[in-house]
Amino acid sequence: MKKDDTTIYWSLLEHGEWSLHIAASTNGLCYIGSQNKPFDELRDWAAARFPGSGLVRDDDRLQPYAAELSEYLQGERKSFTLPFDYRGTAFQLAVWHALCGIPYGQTMSYSDIAERIQKPAAVRAVGAAIGANPILITVPCHRVVGKNGSLTGYRGGLDMKTRLLQLERESM
């Protein structure tokens, strides 16, 4: 993997019971961590996705992202307006783009996403791409459920997924 000289700016968003590491490049939000996970999760992700990049804490730079996320966690925001900087394969990008099309408070299945990107046989690959989503909440992979409606894997853990879906149901 080639060296990436990008600086990744990060902050710790603490809102009520929520504690999430967030990070952005100069191009936009590139990472939202799992609920109550240590800084190591962010450091390891940055080392894998942006090898050679520097991690710099900058609460002021991340404040606009933290503000939108806080509004979401309060049930006051249903969509995000700030730029993203997600990097992945063309397939992952297609899946992540499709996730952004799932309306607030609604869910879709993995097979629905596969159909949406015109790869109906790629349900498992869709699951893998969803699992690689670096920007939890804003790229709403928590809105993807099993075909029978059951909650399935989530990088942030099923408790976090349950809480996000409940928040959205209650804020409709």
The phi, psi pair for 89, rounded to 5°, reads -70, 165
- % of the chain residues with pLDDT over 90: 87
pLDDT value at position 4? 57
Q: What confidence tier does 5 reach under pLDDT thresholds 50, 70, 90? A: low
Domains of the chain, by residue range, sit at 7-73, 90-170
Distance between terminal CA atoms of the chain? 43
- Whole-model pTM: value is 0.92
Residue 94 CA to residue 20 CA, distance in Å, equals 26
The active-site residue out of 141, 145, 164, 165 is 141
**What is the pLDDT of the chain when averaged over all its residues?**
94
- Res 153 pLDDT > 90: no
- Res 24 pLDDT > 90: yes
Which whole number is the average pLDDT over 64-86? Answer: 96
pLDDT value at position 52? 85
- Res 2 pLDDT > 90: no
The CA distances from residue 131 to 136, 141, 155, in Å, are 10, 8, 6
Q: Which CATH architecture has domain 7-73?
A: 2-Layer Sandwich (3.30)
pLDDT value at position 1? 46
Tokens of 62: 């991340």
Where are the strands (E) in the chain, listed by range?
7-15, 18-25, 28-32, 54-57, 108-109, 144-145
Among this protein's residues, is 141 annotated catalytic? yes
Q: Which CATH architecture has domain 90-170?
A: Orthogonal Bundle (1.10)
Reported as a single tens digit per residue, the pLDDT across 87-135 is 899 999 999 999 999 999 999 999 999 999 999 999 999 999 999 999 9
